[in-house]
Amino acid sequence: MTLKELSNILGLSPTTVSRALNGYPEVSEATRKRVAAAAREHGYAPNTRARSLATGRAMAIGHVIPISAKHEMVNPVFGDFIAGAGEVYSRNGYDMLLSVVPDDDEDSAYRSFITKRNVDGIILHAPTLNDPRIPLLNSLGLPYVVHGRSSDTDASYAWVDVNNKRAFQRATEFLLDLGHRRIALVNGLEHMDFAIRRRAGYEAALTARGITPDAALMFAGEMTEAQGHDLTRTLLAQPNAPTAILVSSMITAIGVRRGIEEMGLRMGRDVSLITHDDELSYFRNGADIPVYTATRSSVRDAGRKAAQMLIDIMQHRDSPREILLEADLTLGLSTGPATPLHAGTR
């Protein structure tokens, strides 16, 4: 069913039918009703491609999902982020276009979005330190919103981010308050912006208490379960083992926990653990009593906010261009006071 066919059925011109359906004032209420009824009856919906060719708007938003070329890893938070963003898109009539690209070849994905003209805006994922994609997108002139921020960039851009520094600073202070002095940091890849900020928070808290951050206690890597496990085993086997571990992802935390228990120790008693929790839907941190003490912020909510911001930008609506979400610190069973033994001897 095309517009022309429908207009023939109605004995009207395509012009009038189009206007009736799009709510233009130059059409009488009577015919508008008649047209709407006929459209519904015949199941007419405008052909997206024709419409967007005519209007110049694609009514679609692009996401570039980077796959780490080395480890073929897809970030588990994407699922929930996209679920949140998708909600907002469909409410506003936008489609979501996904492009899965090895992260050493992302430029071409953005370029092709632009030159092929099939999206009106982009969400930028997983920004790094001084991310080159930001100047790239600025020069290409397509609206975009960054999920996260990019330290050391002077260019300006719209973003939605969690206050990673504050979150990890608070978490570290909390551990310090419990008497821990040797606290390990198991972080994401070190060029990732969120990892940089979390580390900054961690170091700031230590320094404020007169403790010099120890490079031997700080780790960066891809946030898999295995990484958490392996690191923990080596860490705890050291003579000068940490009494607490601060972890950047729930999934890694599970590995850390496994490591702790394999060593015959107990989480929350022998070793304390705080993790960041993105509130992934299939991995709720205990509905009743949280298993893990965690800095918590819903990535799905971030998805909603980023999507809304992008739509606002595209429609030239006036609204904030920077949103900083605070993570709360939820108390779980994975933290406890540094035991005298540990606290004393170390």
Q: Which residues of this protein are in contact with DNA, per CB under 7 A?
A: 1-4, 11-16, 18-19, 21-22, 26-31, 44, 46-47, 50-51, 53-56
Q: Which does 333 bind (CB under 5 to 8 A by kind): a second copy, DNA, none?
A: none
CB nearer to a second copy: pick between 52 and 272: 52
Q: Which does 13 bind (CB under 5 to 8 A by kind): DNA, a second copy, none?
A: DNA
Tokens matching residue 251? 């999934």
Q: Which does 301 bind (CB under 5 to 8 A by kind): a second copy, DNA, none?
A: none
CB nearer to a second copy: pick between 87 and 322: 87
CA distance 122 to 120: 7
Provide the sign of the torsion angle of the four alpha carbons 172, 336, 257, 264, taken in this order. positive
Tokens matching residue 322? 């920077």
Q: How far is the CB of 89 from DNA (least distance, A)?
A: 19
In terms of phi and psi (left: phi > 0; alpha: psi -120 to 50; beta: otherwise), the region of 151 is beta
Return the percent helix, strand and coil in the chain, to nearest 5.
45, 20, 40
Q: How far is the CB of 317 from DNA (least distance, A)?
A: 18
**Other CB atoms within 10 A of residue 345 CB:** 7
Q: How far is the CB of 33 from DNA (least distance, A)?
A: 11
Kindly write out the interface string for residues 264-303 of this chain, putting x where it contacts a second copy by CB under 8 A and - elsewhere.
----------------xxxxx-xx---x--------x---
Check binding of 254 to a second copy (CB under 8 A): yes
Taking CB under 8 A as the criterion, the residue among 9, 34, 92, 95 binding a second copy is 95
Q: Which does 73 bind (CB under 5 to 8 A by kind): a second copy, DNA, none?
A: a second copy
DSSP run (H or E) holding 81:
helix 77-91
Sheet of strand 293-296, all strands in order from the earlier edge strand to the far edge: 218-220, 183-187, 244-247, 272-277, 293-296, 328-330
Question: Between residue 200 and residue 239, which ones bind a second copy under the rule CB under 8 A?
Answer: 222-226
Taking CB under 8 A as the criterion, the residue among 11, 23, 30, 115 binding a second copy is 115
**Strand 272-277 with 244-247, pairing:** parallel
**DSSP letter string, 78-137:** HHHHHHHHHHHHHHTT-EEEEEEEETTSHHHHHHHHHHTT--SEEEE-S-BTT-THHHHH
Q: Which does 191 bind (CB under 5 to 8 A by kind): a second copy, DNA, none?
A: none
Biggest distance spanned by C-alpha atoms of the chain? 91
Give the Cα-Cα-Cα angle 19, 23, 26 (nearest 5 degrees).
60
CB 334 within 8 A of CB 175: no
3-state secondary structure of 73: strand
Angle between helix 14-21 and 29-41 (nearest 10):
90
Amino acid at 115: T
CB nearer to DNA: pick between 16 and 153: 16
CA distance 199 to 96: 33
Taking CB under 8 A as the criterion, the residue among 261, 301, 312, 322 binding a second copy is 261
Taking CB under 8 A as the criterion, the residue among 31, 99, 130, 138 binding a second copy is 99
Q: How far is the CB of 282 from a second copy (least distance, A)?
A: 5
Q: How far is the CB of 332 from DNA (least distance, A)?
A: 52
3-state secondary structure of 310: helix
Note the Cα 85 to chain centre separation in Å. Answer: 10
CB nearer to a second copy: pick between 87 and 312: 87
Matching residue, tokens 């233009």: 24
Q: How far is the CB of 48 from a second copy (least distance, A)?
A: 4
Question: Between residue 127 and residue 146, which ones bind a second copy under the rule CB under 8 A?
Answer: none
CB nearer to a second copy: pick between 77 and 185: 77
Binding residues vs a second copy (CB under 8 A): 1, 43-50, 52-53, 58, 60, 65, 67, 71-76, 78-80, 82-83, 85-87, 89-90, 95-101, 111-112, 115-118, 222-226, 251, 254, 258, 261, 280-284, 286-287, 291, 300
